[in-house]
Structures are given as structure tokens and as C-alpha cells.
């Protein structure tokens, strides 16, 4: 089945206009049925191999999404102190037994150390110096260690989280020394973790995870207290409508083999974990904007002329295309079935890079779409992962609202549109305030 064949409520023009009438545009539409379908798919594969699943909060930290994960028994991987607090706000408990929340980072920033200590959250350290940071804070309990195994893949280089160019994790050859330092500080390393890339092709992921299990097996003698191993996330999602949806069923066999390799090396039962983010949430949210104009440039010595479809959504709402040329399916629901033309879709920001149809080389890549008219709604699909989560206030624009679409057709406001008063509330006025 291709992506194009999947039904999506964001193709329902009547529904989209109804929501627009309630909250304005742009807005995010989050489909509960799609989210629950992805949760069920991942749980089915994991449970077949007795694997514990965490959700990478950074991909989509909305409280209603976290609450849905909690109801389904999904644990949490948080990467900031505030993400830990978000998870607890959604109903997750702190504590190590079991460690339903794990804090993963290479640096303790802001309130992170306090949150870890106050709530007895399992810290998963990615830099050797964090052992000293924890010891200085008076921490003497279980820890996890994130390993950089030296290899991995990402859907773009910026998402490759394993190898010499990655800032994440402790290099394999330094792992034993971290273990000794932790023991001297009164800490026990009970979990090893690695994440080797975000969104590679499935065959790459399977090969990398098998290799990762073997690398962890080589580390086993240095970590006699380890009772859990996380193989990280990185399950891909198909963004392009002309390609088949990703089949995650082969992961079950991989997990069984990984467990066998690890338990044979360690000589004991271990808890095997994964921590998807993107695959859970990517297809569940759509950014809905309204077309404000269609205009053209003409060919000259600098290049070809283009047709620009101007919309009220921009990279303050969905940053991925501007950041690294990510592809998102675009539709004009009110023009479905009409003849297509080559257009560039651009947003309202005072920034030349505010274009949704571009590639990783920052080049315009026009898209064949039915020609919109002023006032038409336009949808940017598959934005649930790193969509609203990366939203900003650039140009002093408030973040767009999020609307939850329940399976019975009812709608709930997840977050309202941010106002300038809320943005200014962080500032101390024209004169500032004394420190």
C-alpha cells in the first residue's frame, strides 16, 4: 500500500473548514485514530519479542499525546528536565523501580540535575564528565550510559547519531573507563543505550541494530550490573506519497536475535528496550494553512521563473523543510482531482528560506499540485514528529493551536494560539530589571 492510499481526515474539506472557523489558520490537526494505530503497530511487534517500548518525548511532547502513551503502557525517554516534568504532568511516576521515565542527555542544563535528583529519575549519561557532575550533586544510585558505537545512518546527515561526527554518547573504547569512574563514585550502571540514527531505510536499521547488539555483547564483561539494554529508536516513516508504507514486522525477529546475543554474552536475563519517536507520531498531525495569494516571477539571467503559492503557515510552525530540506506531502483538499501545475509553496516569514518545497541543498524543488486560489486551505501532511515540537516565535509570531480529532468526530483543543502578551510576559519591560 502506498502512502497515497492511506485515508486521512485532513483530506476532508468540510472538517478542515469547520476547525478553521473555530481556531483560525494555521493550525495543527492531530488524528487520534492514526496515533492509536501506530501505537498498536509498535506494541504488536515489541510484545511479540518481549521488548519494552519508550516514547521519545522530543518528537511530540503534547500532554494529550503523552497521556495516550501512558494509557498504553509506553515508557518515556526524556531529554531535558522539562520533558521529565511534562511526562509527570501527563501521569507518569518518577522512580527507578521500574524506570518509567529515563533522562537522556550529554549535558545537564537548567533544571535537569534538580529534576533527576528530586524525582529519582534514571539518568542516562552521554558524556564521561557527567559522572563527576552527578557525584558533585550527591547522586549515588543507578545510571544508564549512552554509547556511541561508531556507526549509524540517518535520513539526512544531520540525523546521524552514531559515528565520529556525532556529539552523542560515550565512544566505545572509553566506556569501560566510565564504568570504573561510576563505580568509584558509588553508582551502578544498570543499563546500556545507543541510538544510531533517525529514519534510515528499514534494511539499514535492521543491519545496524544487529551489529549494535553484537557490539554491546563485547562490552558485557565491563558492566556486571547491567540488566537492561536499549537499542534506541530510528524506526523510519515514509513521507513520500509514491512510496510504500514501512513494514515494521521484521523488527520482531531482529529483537529476538538481539536478546539471544545479549543474554548469551551477559549470562543473565536482560530487559530489551526501544525508544521510537517519529514512527509513533509522524502521520498523526497535519499543518493546515490558508492560501493568501498565488504570484509569479519571470525568467532572467539569475534563473527560471516560478509560481509561488503563498500560505499563512511558515517555518515557525514546521521547521523541518527549512532546516534540512525534509519532504512533506502537500495537498489542496478543495482542488482534489484537478489538473496539476508546478508550484513553490512559501510562507509569511521575512526570511527567504521560508519555503516548504525545497531540498537538502537549499534548492527550490517545485511540486506538482492542483493550482490553489486565494482562500483555499492547503495541508502539509505527516508533521506529527518534530512539527509543533520545533515551533518558534520568530518574527514574534505566536505558535499555532493544536486540535485533537477524536475517533467519534469530536474535537478537543490541545493548545490554543499563543498571543503576543504571552510572548512578552517573559520580558522585563523597556528598562529591564535589576539583577
> Cα dist. 381→43, 252, 318, 421 in Å?
24, 28, 10, 30
Question: Average pLDDT of 331-346?
Answer: 96
For 90: left if phi > 0, alpha if psi spans -120 to 50, otherwise beta; the answer is: alpha
Does residue 395 sit in the same domain as residue 248? Answer: no
pLDDT digits (tens, 9 = 90+) for 36-92: 999 999 999 999 999 999 999 999 999 999 999 999 999 999 999 999 999 999 999
- The pLDDT score that the predictor gives to residue 1 is 40
Check whether residue 220 and residue 327 sit in a common domain: no
pTM: 0.94
Domain match, 120 and 269 both: yes
Predicted pLDDT of residue 155: 45
Residues 6+ apart with CB under 8 A from 14: none
Same domain, 272 and 125: yes
Q: Within this chain, do residues 51 and 142 fall inside the same structural domain, yes or no?
A: yes
| pLDDT tens sequence across 369-416 | 999 999 999 999 999 999 999 999 999 999 999 999 999 999 999 999
Using the 3D structure, point to which of 224, 255, 281 is the last residue of a domain.
281
Angle subtended by helix axes 250-266 and 32-48, to nearest 10? 40
Whether 67 is covered by a domain: the verdict is yes
Residue 350 annotated in active site: yes
Residue of 60, 159, 350, 379 marked active site:
350
* One-character DSSP codes across 188-221: EEEEEE----SS--HHHHHHHHHHHHHHHHHHGG
Positions of E strands within 98-202: 101-105, 122-125, 142-148, 170-171, 188-193
For 412, the domain range is 282-424
Is the pLDDT at 273 greater than 70, yes or no?
yes
Q: Is residue 16 part of a domain?
A: no
For the CA atoms of the chain, what is the radius of gyration? 23
- Considering the domain architecture, whether residues 217 and 348 belong to the same structural domain is answered as no
CA distances from 87 to 28, 47, 65, 66, 222 (A): 21, 23, 10, 7, 32
263, pLDDT greater than 50: yes
Round to whole Å and give the CA distance between 16 and 345.
Answer: 19
Amino acid at each position: 500500500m502506498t502512502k497515497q492510499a492511506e485515508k486521512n481526515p485532513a483530506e476532508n474539506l468540510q472538517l478542515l473548514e469547520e476547525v478553521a472557523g473555530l481556531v483560525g489558520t494555521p493550525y495543527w490537526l492531530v488524528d487520534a485514530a492514526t496515533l492509536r494505530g501506530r501505537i498498536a503497530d509498535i506494541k504488536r511487534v515489541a510484545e511479540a519479542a518481549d521488548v519494552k517500548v519508550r516514547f521519545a518525548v522530543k518528537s511530540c511532547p503534547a500532554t494529550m499525546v503523552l497521556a495516550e502513551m501512558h494509557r498504553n503502557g509506553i515508557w518515556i525517554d526524556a531529554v531535558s528536565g522539562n520533558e521529565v516534568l511534562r511526562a509527570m504532568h501527563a501521569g507518569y511516576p518518577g522512580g527507578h523501580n521500574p524506570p518509567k521515565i529515563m533522562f537522556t542527555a550529554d549535558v545537564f542544563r537548567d533544571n535537569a540535575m534538580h529534576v533527576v535528583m528530586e524525582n529519582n529519575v534514571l539518568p542516562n549519561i552521554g558524556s564521561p564528565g557527567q559522572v563527576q557532575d552527578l557525584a558533585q550533586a550527591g547522586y549515588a544510585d543507578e545510571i544508564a550510559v549512552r554509547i556511541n558505537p561508531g556507526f549509524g545512518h540517518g535520513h539526512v546527515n544531520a540525523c546521524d547519531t552514531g559515528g565520529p561526527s556525532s556529539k552523542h554518547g560515550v565512544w566505545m573504547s572509553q566506556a569501560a573507563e566510565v564504568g570504573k569512574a561510576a563505580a568509584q563514585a558509588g553508582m551502578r550502571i544498570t543499563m546500556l543505550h545507543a541510538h544510531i540514527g533517525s529514519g534510515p531505510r528499514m534494511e539499514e536499521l535492521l543491519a545496524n541494530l544487529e551489529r549494535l547488539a553484537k557490539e554491546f555483547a563485547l562490552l558485557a564483561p565491563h558492566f556486571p550490573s547491567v540488566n537492561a539494554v536499549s537499542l534506541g529508536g530510528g524506526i523510519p516513516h515514509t513521507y513520500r506519497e509514491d512510496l510504500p508504507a514501512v513494514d515494521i514486522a521484521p523488527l520482531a525477529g531482529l529483537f529476538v536475535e538481539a536478546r539471544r546475543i545479549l543474554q548469551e554474552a551477559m549470562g543473565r536475563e536482560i530487559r530489551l528496550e526501544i525508544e521510537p519517536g517519529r514512527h509513533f507520531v509522524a502521520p498523526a498531525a497535519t499543518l493546515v494553512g490558508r492560501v493568501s495569494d498565488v504570484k509569479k516571477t519571470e525568467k532572467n539571467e539569475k534563473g527560471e521563473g516560478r509560481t509561488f503559492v503563498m500560505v499563512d503557515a511558515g517555518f515557525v510552525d514546521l521547521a523541518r523543510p527549512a532546516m534540512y530540506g525534509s519532504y512533506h506531502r502537500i495537498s489542496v483538499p478543495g482542488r482534489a482531482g484537478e489538473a496539476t501545475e508546478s508550484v513553490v509553496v512559501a510562507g509569511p516569514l521575512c526570511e527567504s528560506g521560508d519555503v516548504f518545497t525545497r531540498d537538502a541543498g537549499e534548492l527550490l524543488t517545485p511540486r506538482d499540485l492542483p493550482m490553489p486560489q486565494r482562500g483555499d486551505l492547503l495541508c502539509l501532511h505527516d508533521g506529527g514528529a518534530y512539527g509543533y515540537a520545533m515551533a518558534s516565535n520568530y518574527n514574534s509570531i505566536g505558535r499555532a493551536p493544536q486540535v485533537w480529532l477524536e475517533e467519534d468526530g469530536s474535537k478537543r483543543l490541545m493548545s490554543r494560539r499563543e498571543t503576543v502578551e504571552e510572548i512578552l510576559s517573559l520580558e522585563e519591560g523597556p528598562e529591564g530589571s535589576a539583577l
